[in-house]
Amino acid sequence: MANSYIQMRQAGATARAMFVAAVAEKWDVPAREITVEDRVVSHAASGQSSSFGDRAEVAALQEVPVEPALKTLANSS
């Protein structure tokens, strides 16, 4: 696991990007307006929200991003 840190971050970012894309498509909103926090995907302007589990099937059908954006790491000092 210690040697796979970057790969695990990339896998998580890929899944997150696929969920965001699926929700943005379903709600017909820009993906950049979607937020994800505590396994809940939300769109503030429309008041819509959904859990990851509710959108898993649709997210799995999304195109897999080649280089998903990684979250910024918090300062660990």
For residue 26, the enclosing domain spans: 2-60
Closest by Cα among 77, 3, 68, 4 to 36: 68
For the chain, the straight-line distance linking the first and the last C-alpha, in angstroms and rounded, comes to 22
**Number of compact structural domains in the chain:** 1
Q: Look up the pTM and report it.
A: 0.79
Q: Is 34 a member of any domain?
A: yes
Per-residue pLDDT of the chain (77 residues; tens, 9 = 90+): 667 888 888 998 998 899 899 999 999 999 999 998 888 889 999 999 988 777 788 888 888 988 888 888 765 54
Q: Is 52 a member of any domain?
A: yes
Quote the CA–CA distance of 51 and 38 in Å, as a whole number: 9
Q: Is 6 a member of any domain?
A: yes
Q: Is 55 a member of any domain?
A: yes
CA atoms in the 13 A half-sphere facing the CB of 33 = 13
